[in-house]
Amino acid sequence: MTSSTTFGSKAARVRAAGEPALVVEHLTKHFGSRIALDDVCFEVEQGEVFGLLGPNGAGKTTMIRILGTLIKPTFGNATVTGISLSRETGSEIRARISIMPETPGLYLRLTVWENLECFAGLYQLSHVNERIRKALASVNLADRQNELCGSLSKGLRQRVALARSLLSDPAVLFLDEPTSGLDPVAAHEVHDLIGALREHGVTTLVTTHRLEEAERLCDRVAIVNTKLLLVGKPDTLRADLFSRKLEVRLSSRLRDPSRVFSEVLGVKHWEEPEAGSYLLDVEDPDLVAPPLIRTLVGCGADVLAVGERRHSLEDVYLQLIGDGAGERK
């Protein structure tokens, strides 16, 4: 524990440089007989954008609620910005973080500005007007500040909630499905915003169902389904789970593909998913591609394309969750 109470400032953020922003140790949460989280451990470094992926009911929201001191873990512990979760530290932790919940939860009879003003008061912020203006500008809502929240569309409400969570300049930001309900342009803006926050050293934990979003945004992702299944960089996860593949497209089928591919060093296995298209298992695509093309040209084939077949995070996810997701209601 530290005695620093200047939250959100640079001082708070780097106050223990090198110390992880989040340490999750054996977190377990039971709701009656239902197990929502089971012995989950991971760490998130300062300034990292960390993705929490998992099917519906995997425990993502539960994880955020525990780390945000809203509910208590059944077993295990966690430290948030260096402070251990406990009854006494709740208010102190909450002053350093902010959470954007799954549903925006705005006061519908209050205007956008008044909603943010209330929260600025609850975080005891100074320079309130300036901060509100900045937060609204960052989600492109400056021109709607005097409208009642009740008259805003779902996506706009989502953006007000995001602005609200940026107000206090948090050291750790929790975003529970921040882009659900947003149109592609708005979702893209949220991605840019998260990128900009990363530049400012804000640690972000984001849950999402959009795998391409996680892949684009996150330095590391954790795949959970009650238990922690896997955690790592998207690239590493891919490489660990799948062998690398070269995809070759020709204008017509090879007469004797076995002979052609056996001439090229480094091709371990091949298949022909459609006529004239070949998938090759290789050690290193960069080393294999040039001799492969020479060999193909040498035996008279017209090469249309040669490229690495990239496995998306979605493939990783489906491989891990697989039919397991179907078993859960």
Ligand X SMILES: Nc1ncnc2c1ncn2[C@@H]1O[C@H](COP(=O)(O)OP(=O)(O)OP(=O)(O)O)[C@@H](O)[C@H]1O
Q: Which is nearer to Mg ion, 55 or 76 (CB)?
A: 55
Q: Which is nearer to other proteins, 83 or 289 (CB)?
A: 83
Q: CA 2 → CA 33, 234, 289, distances in Å? A: 37, 34, 56
Closest CA to 195 of 182, 207, 206: 206
- Per CB under 6 A, does 62 bind ligand X? yes
- Per CB under 6 A, does 205 bind ligand X? no
Q: Which is nearer to other proteins, 100 or 280 (CB)?
A: 100
From candidates 4, 61, 74, 180, binder to Mg ion by CB under 5 A: 61
* Total residue length of the chain: 329
Shortest distance, position 176 Cβ to ligand X, whole Å: 7
Q: Which is nearer to ligand X, 31 or 107 (CB)?
A: 31
- Per CB under 6 A, does 61 bind ligand X? yes
From candidates 8, 54, 76, 178, binder to ligand X by CB under 6 A: 54
- Per CB under 6 A, does 321 bind ligand X? no
Site for ligand X in 24-53 (CB under 6 A): 31, 34, 36
Helix, strand, coil percent content, the chain, rounded in steps of 5? 40, 30, 35
- For 136, counting Cβ atoms within 10 Å of its Cβ (0-12 exposed, 13-18 middle, 19+ buried), the class is buried
Closest CA to 41 of 176, 211, 230: 230
| End-to-end Cα, the chain, rounded Å | 41
- Per CB under 6 A, does 257 bind ligand X? no
The backbone torsions φ and ψ at residue 116, rounded to the nearest 5 degrees and listed phi first, read -70, -35
- Per CB under 5 A, does 84 bind Mg ion? no
Q: Which is nearer to ligand X, 209 or 249 (CB)?
A: 209
Give the interface segment with ligand X, choosing from 39-47, 55-63, 138-146, 235-243 (CB under 6 A): 55-63
Shortest distance, position 208 Cβ to Mg ion, whole Å: 10
Q: Which residues bind Mg ion (CB under 5 A)?
A: 60-61
